[in-house]
A and B are shown apart, each in its own frame.
Chain A
Amino acid sequence: MTDPARSLSEQLGGALPPGIEALDDEQRRMLAEALRDARRRQSAALARASDEALRYVPAFLRGTVRKVVGL
């Protein structure tokens, strides 16, 4: 099983602040999950917004724009 503190610190890219490090495993796991869920939701929302934006690009250019922008 993944160490909950490491999972959160891995997402945050470094050691946790002392008060967060001192939380129990379940609480740190909950924070790690909340951050992961927020990232997923944000990525999905951005992908939806980008797709919507692409609908306004002429069809014959969409492939090129996708490639250039990296969508």
Chain B
Amino acid sequence: MNNLESRAEVRKLARVLDVPPERIAFLERVDAADLRELRGRATDVLFDANLGVLQRMALATRIVPTPVLAKIAQKVFGPLLCARIAGLVDVSRGVDVASRLPPRFLADVAVQLDPRRASEIIARIPGDTVVAVARELIVREDWITIGRFVGHLPEASVSASLEALGDVALLQSAYVLDDKSRAGNVVELLPAGRYGSALRAADAEGLWPKVFDLLTHLDEPLRLRFAVAAADLRPDARERAAATARELGLDPDLLLARVYVPGLPGTVDG
């Protein structure tokens, strides 16, 4: 376990319980896997409450044409009710309604949604809509919501969103990814130039802990991509990265190991 992962879990649990993260900071010493289980079960409790009424409301929406339903969803239901009903409506109708709603409202719904319960709808939302919603969430700096959705989106939508996501937003969202086992799938989609720019952004914004948390979830070939990019960092930036790793009880070589990739300029045969 690493404490960074538990800290990220505490922030996500605080969002579910709608309490300030400081109020449950005592959970930072609990294993991240236990916190993840607690969060999943608390989410289920909240989403299963009022389920009977919500199912009947979802049934009632069947008789309303989708253009009208989209208007009702936005003007009458509001984001919370939409988020709770989303997982209960027919998938194609859900996608049709979502495609008629403005990104700002969809972002409000996304904040309240449990992506596990509406994953079929989420997976079929057009890529340009996903990017528009992602942009809205970036403006709000809502990394937790972005992180919750990544595992439910098709690769093409994630790729397109990564272009919209700046380096700081990328690191912040990766830190709170709902399913950290997906971190590698996301990193793999980054264009070559992003590894270096993400590291420079981390140094400029004091985000080295987020970088090291990400590295602990990547396999060797992906870590190597960052290590290659790190070789081009200024010495003072490398020193700050190393100091952060040591503070976190991690090996600076996760990022700063001397690497040699045959045929790749900038790497060191060592």
Spell out A's residues near B (CB within 8 Å).
11-14, 16-20, 22-23, 27, 30-31, 34-35, 37-39, 41-43, 45-46, 49-50, 52-53, 55-56, 65, 68-71
With A23-B30, A68-B56 as contacts: A13 and B45 at CB distance below 8 Å: yes
With A19-B30, A69-B57 as contacts: A43 and B49 at CB distance below 8 Å: yes
Q: Which residue of A lies closest to B75 (CB)?
A: A56
- Chain B residue numbers with a CB within 8 Å of A17 are 33-35, 37-38
- Chain B residue numbers with a CB within 8 Å of A27 are 26-27
Measured between C-beta atoms, what is the minimum distance from B105 to chain A in Å?
14
* Chain B interface helix/strand/loop/mixed: helix
With A42-B49, A46-B84, A70-B52 as contacts: A35 and B60 at CB distance below 8 Å: no
**Size class of B's contact patch?**
20 to 34
Q: Is the CB of B78 within 8 A of A52?
A: yes
Distance between Cα atoms of A3 and B231 in the complex (Å): 55
With A19-B31, A23-B30, A34-B19 as contacts: A50 and B52 at CB distance below 8 Å: no
24 intermolecular pairs with C-beta atoms under 8 Å apart: A12-B38, A13-B41, A14-B41, A17-B34, A17-B37, A18-B34, A23-B30, A30-B23, A34-B23, A37-B17, A37-B18, A39-B49, A42-B50, A43-B50, A46-B81, A46-B84, A49-B81, A50-B81, A52-B76, A53-B57, A69-B53, A69-B56, A69-B60, A70-B56
- B222 lies within 8 A of chain A by Cβ: no
- Chain A residue numbers with a CB within 8 Å of B56 are 68-70
- Chain B residue numbers with a CB within 8 Å of A14 are 41
* Chain A interface helix/strand/loop/mixed: helix
Spell out B's residues near A (CB within 8 Å).
16-19, 23-24, 26-27, 30-31, 33-35, 37-38, 41-42, 45-46, 49-50, 52-54, 56-57, 60, 72, 76-78, 80-81, 84
- Chain A residue numbers with a CB within 8 Å of B81 are 46, 49-50, 53
- Chain B residue numbers with a CB within 8 Å of A13 are 41, 45
Q: Which residue of B lies closest to A56 (CB)?
A: B76
- Chain B residue numbers with a CB within 8 Å of A37 are 17-18
Q: Is the CB of A50 within 8 A of B57?
A: yes
With A17-B34, A27-B26, A35-B42 as contacts: A53 and B53 at CB distance below 8 Å: no
A12-B45, A53-B76, A69-B53 known; 10 other A-B pairs, CB under 8 Å?
A: A12-B38, A19-B31, A34-B19, A34-B23, A42-B80, A45-B80, A50-B57, A55-B76, A56-B72, A71-B53
Distance between Cα atoms of A30 and B35 in the complex (Å): 15
Distance between Cα atoms of A43 and B19 in the complex (Å): 17
Q: Is the CB of A49 within 8 A of B77?
A: yes
Distance between Cα atoms of A12 and B37 in the complex (Å): 11
- Chain B residue numbers with a CB within 8 Å of A53 are 57, 72, 76-77, 81
- Chain B residue numbers with a CB within 8 Å of A45 are 80
- Chain B residue numbers with a CB within 8 Å of A22 are 30
- Chain A residue numbers with a CB within 8 Å of B27 are 23, 27
